[in-house]
Amino acid sequence: MSRIAARFDALRAQNRGALIPFLEAFDPDRATSAAILRGMPAAGADLIEIGMPFTDPMADGPTIQAAGRRGLLAGATLAGTLEMVAEFRAHDPATPIILMGYLNPLLAHGIPRFCDDAAIAGVDGLIVVDLPSEEAALLAPDAARNGIDIIRLVAPTTSDARLRQVLAGCSGFVYYVSITGITGTRSASSEDLAAAIPRIRRATDLPIAIGFGVKTPAQAAAVARLADGAVVASSLIETLAADLVDGRAVPGTVEKFLGQIQALANAVRTARHTNSEAA
Amino acid sequence: MTWSIQELTLDQNFAPLPNSLRHGPTTSGRFGDYGGRFVAETLMPLILELEQAWEAARADPGFQAELDTYLKDYVGRPSPLWFARRLTAHFGGAKIYFKREELNHTGAHKVNSCMGQILLAQRMGKTRIIAETGAGQHGVATATVCALMGLPCVVYMGAVDVERQQPNVFRMKLLGAEVIAVSSGAGTLKDAMNEAMRDWVANVRDTYYLIGTVAGPHPYPAMVRDFQCVIGNEARAQLHQAEGRLPDAVVAAVGGGSNAMGIFHPFLDDPDVRLIGVEAAGKGLDTHEHAASIERGRPGVLHGNRTYLLQDGDGQIEEAHSISAGLDYPGIGPEHAWLNDIGRAEYVGITDDEALAAFHLCTRMEGIIPALECAHALAYIGKLAPTMDADKIILMNLSGRGDKDIATVAKHSGAAL
């Protein structure tokens, strides 16, 4: 069983949702992002999403764009990101790692080689934003050969008919993009989510995580009641960015990031046992 | 002499030959290995909806008739074909003809596709238009057709381009468009396109993204090409009337490649016609400051399509450079990438300095101030024409007028405005 499936099974047995925090590789530098990554499981991350910096992140808002720029300035490469994952994996055999990014750096690395290297490093899943199901054959065979899950995005614009096609090649979990928009901007209303999730649920047995616009502990808790996981990205990166001095980490930067994860984790862990209203 | 659009294009609308190069793209938007639909899932349903709407419109004679009326009475088509007598004598070789796209309303070829796309947007019931622009020509053309149709218009433009194309920025504002300066990245066309796609993904229900070039996800490369083919169709008929034959070479500048594709495509099945795309070599092909995606790039995926891109070894997109804002783009339309690989079209480079010299030459010798984009094409003709006999013919797409560039030229010439 894959790490992702095992983790969601375990969480289901505990009747709680997953917190999936995000960090951008090498943001603001390699050592800081490696320290954040290392501290995430203890802070309450159930799965971890790592952004692979790209010069032209078309689905990302200003916060993640800036994180990517800082990462690239700090020397991020695909190989460097995989190295970071391998270091993490040496100490943590269980927490699933999902890489999120755009297609071109993967193509430059070579898709078969990238999938081989990612599997060796201990990567469990891939989210490639600009690779819709129409173009999926480019990546699917090499990912499958290496036991790497392809996590598909489902959007509010994805029709029921299209949903079947999108889910056909999806494994690990389904990532519901809760708004039509870029990362870190609006948040979906709980009414919209309450309508959207059962629609996807009817089409798949895979766990469903919700991302885009999940910012506060209250929002993460609301999401964890409706779905199987909450992805939190921009609000964490905003905290990091606000803490930097001249673009550099300062003492306490890592702790502040992890502290925010802890608050989110507490909210997610107790979400299904409390009746608090969604924010 | 005047022709109607119908007369000019009618005999060109023959069905392509069975082994034609004009059949592309495939149903998945491929030209060979290039093109495709590499967009986020949120946009995918919109791309498919657009493709359906475009297929329906192009099969509807009413749509074509309406477009033809606008092209004739509003845009001012057909644009003339001009024999550049003095430049021909100056270069001393092949006869040089200009297809005068700079005489279109708004001063460039961009309006051909804008006119078509705005009619399509209306058919689709879209109520808000967004566009990206580099030199501002596409932005001005988009703002113009939006004013004509009474639709709100938002134009994304790199902050650097806003600075160097002030007249066009003001023109867009006069036309009622909102111009948003994009400062991410290098602040040029690539970044404007990223931001336009971000707007689109956030406004999927009411917004039409009016792409200006033959790039982006399928169906844009094919659709923009089809709207721009009016250039080549007319030029072919006009040259036939003037010379009784086909040209020996067709030369056009390529950034994204819409003006070149518009004039190349109707000649794809004429193997004796050389097709030459002129890329911006900036400060030199062997410097890091150029925009020669085909000559110095590698295939990759950006802005929804697979094509030649300027990129580093890690797949990060590199900044392009050109004196001409319209060529300052690190990619090229996927059909050009394919025409290059199969050897049907050739791609060459012209530097900033060579383009500037051609700009002055054209202005002084023909009384036509060309856009810096097409000055690149003319500069290459300056090398090509003398190698050809006097009975040969070169057709150049004079795709835009240079009024927008006078500040840039003044700066480079050390003149004060």
Annotated catalytic residue: which of B99, B110, B190, B404?
A: B110
How confident is the model at residue B60, as a pLDDT? 97
Sign of CA dihedral B76, B81, B82, B88: positive
Helix (H, G, I), strand (E, B) or coil at B302: strand
Contacts of B39 in chain A (CB under 8 A): 130, 132
CB pairs under 8 A between A and B: 120
Tracing tokens 């509003």 back to the chain, one arrives at B74
β-partners of residue B98 are B82, B396
Indicate the average pLDDT of chain B.
94
Amino acid letter for position B152: P
| Mean pLDDT lowest among A24-28, B186-190, B221-225, B281-285 | B186-190
| Residue in B44, B210, B74 with CA at minimum distance from that of residue B130 | B210
Per DSSP, helices labelled H in chain A are 3-13, 30-43, 62-73, 78-91, 103-109, 111-121, 140-145, 160-168, 190-201, 217-226, 234-243, 253-270
Q: Would residue A278 count as lying in a domain? A: no
Is B37 part of the contact surface with chain A (CB cutoff 8 Å)?
Answer: yes
Residue pair B350/B380 in contact by the 8 Å Cβ criterion = yes
Tell me how close the Cα of A266 comes to any Cα of chain B, in angstroms. 31
What pLDDT, on the 0 to 100 scale, is given for residue B326? 87
A87 is catalytic: no
In chain A, helix, strand, coil percent, each to 5? 50, 15, 35
- The backbone region for B246, taken as left when phi is positive above 0, alpha when psi lies in -120 to 50, beta otherwise, is beta
Look at the block and give the residue holding tokens 């309406």.
B66
* Helix, strand, coil abundance in chain B, percent, nearest 5: 45, 20, 35
- In angstroms, the CA B292 to CA B282 distance is 8
**Parent domain of A194:** 3-271
Which of A103, A104, A138 has the most B C-beta neighbours within 10 Å, making it the best mutation to test the interface with B? Answer: A104
Question: Does A83 fall in a domain?
Answer: yes
pLDDT band at B7, cuts 50/70/90?
Answer: very low
Find the Cα–Cα–Cα–Cα dihedral B281, B285, B287, B289, rounded to 10°: 30
- Cα of B67 to nearest chain A Cα, Å: 31
- The one-character DSSP state at B402 is S
Q: β-pairing, B128-133 with B207-209?
A: parallel
pLDDT of res. A279: 42
Taking the C-alpha atoms of residue A130 and residue A144, their distance in angstroms, rounded to an integer, is: 19
Catalytic residue among B101, B102, B132, B373: B132
To the query of whether residue B51 is one of the catalytic residues in this protein, the response is: no
Determine contact, residues B351/B282, Cβ cutoff 8 Å.
yes
Domain assignment present for residue A276? The answer is no
pLDDT (tens digit per residue) in B260-299:
999 999 999 999 999 999 999 999 999 999 999 999 999 9
Q: Is A60 a catalytic residue?
A: yes
Instruction: For chain A, say whether B180 makes contact (Cβ under 8 Å).
Output: no
Give the tens place of pLDDT for each residue, B138-169. Answer: 999 999 999 999 999 999 999 988 988 888 99
CATH number at A118 reads 3.20.20.70
CB contact under 8 A, B317 and A106: no
Q: What is the pLDDT of residue B16?
A: 63
How many domains does chain A fold into? 1
Residues A78, B40: C-beta atoms closer than 8 Å: no
Q: Percent of chain B beyond pLDDT 90?
A: 88
Q: Is residue A277, in this structure, part of any structural domain at all?
A: no
Residue A236 lies in a domain: yes
What is d(CA B24, CA B37) in angstroms, rounded to the nearest whole number?
15
Cβ pair B397, B101 in contact under 8 A:
yes
C-alpha–C-alpha distance, residues B400 and B359, integer Å? 12
Q: Is B184's Cβ below 8 Å from some Cβ in A? A: yes
Report whether the peptide linkage leading into residue B25 is cis, meaning its omega lies within 30 degrees of zero.
yes
Q: Under a CB-based contact definition with an 8 Å cutoff, are residues B163 and B179 in contact?
A: no
The predicted pLDDT at position A254 comes to 98
- Asked if the structure places residue A197 within a domain, the reply is yes
Tokens representing A219?
Answer: 């929002």
Residues of B in contact with A153 (CB under 8 A): 40-42
Query: Mapping DSSP to helix (H, G, I), strand (E, B) and coil, where does residue B96 land?
Result: strand
pLDDT digits (tens, 9 = 90+) for B26-67: 999 999 999 999 999 999 999 999 999 999 999 999 999 999
The tokens for B209 are 């993204």
Selecting from A55, A179, A185 the residue whose C-beta is nearest the C-beta of B185 gives A55
Query: Measured between beta carbons, which residues in chain A are less than 8 angstroms from residue B196?
Result: none
Q: What is the mean pLDDT of residues B347-355?
A: 98
pLDDT of residue A18: 98
Residue B377, CA distances (Å) to B214, B278, B351, B358 in order? 18, 6, 11, 9
pLDDT reported for residue A118: 98
Q: B351 φ, ψ to 5°?
A: -80, 170
Query: Is-contact B275 B294, C-beta < 8 A?
Result: no
Nearest CA in chain A to B300: A104
**Using CA atoms, how far apart are residues B296 and B311, in angstroms rounded to an integer?**
9
Helix (H/G/I), strand (E/B), else coil: B286: coil
Q: In what order do the strands lie in the sheet with B249-253?
A: B81-83, B95-100, B393-398, B249-253, B274-282, B345-351
Let me know: does A72 contact A105? Beta carbons within 8 Å: no
CA distances from A71 to A51, A92, A102 (A): 10, 23, 15
CB contact under 8 A, B315 and A135: no
CA distance A162 to A176: 14
Which secondary-structure segment (H or E) carries B321?
A: none
Q: How far is CA A126 from CA A106, A167, A185, B136, B328, in A?
A: 11, 15, 23, 38, 33
Q: With 60 as the cut, is the pLDDT of residue B12 above it? A: no
Q: Which residues contact A110 (CB under 8 A, 6 or more apart)?
A: none
Q: Give the orientation angle of helix B44-58 with respect to helix B61-70, to 10 degrees.
A: 90
Tell me the CA distances in angstroms from A193 to A47, A176, A186, A213, A228, one per residue in order: 21, 10, 13, 12, 13
Phi and psi torsions of B125, nearest 5°: 75, 20
Please give chain A's pLDDT, 279 residues, in tens.
Answer: 899 999 999 999 999 999 999 999 999 999 999 999 999 999 999 999 999 999 999 999 999 999 999 999 999 999 999 999 999 999 999 999 999 999 999 999 999 999 999 999 999 999 999 999 999 999 999 999 999 999 999 999 999 999 999 999 899 999 999 999 988 888 998 888 999 999 999 999 999 999 999 999 999 999 999 999 999 999 999 999 999 999 999 999 999 999 999 999 999 999 988 755 544
Contact A77 B314 (CB under 8 A): yes
Nearest residue of B to residue A65, measured between CA atoms: B184
**Chain B residues with CB inside 8 Å of A134's CB?**
28, 36-37, 44
B230 phi and psi angles, rounded to 5 deg: -55, -30
- Residue A279 domain-assigned? no
Cα B139-B395-B102 angle, rounded to 5 deg: 30
Contacts made by residues A247-255, CB under 8 angstroms, sequence distance 24+: A247/A28, A247/A70, A247/A73, A248/A28, A248/A29, A249/A28, A249/A29, A249/A32, A253/A32, A254/A32, A254/A35, A254/A36, A254/A39
| Span B305-340, pLDDT tens digits | 999 999 999 999 999 999 998 898 999 999 999 999
Residue from A24, A27, A29, A49 carrying the catalytic annotation? A49
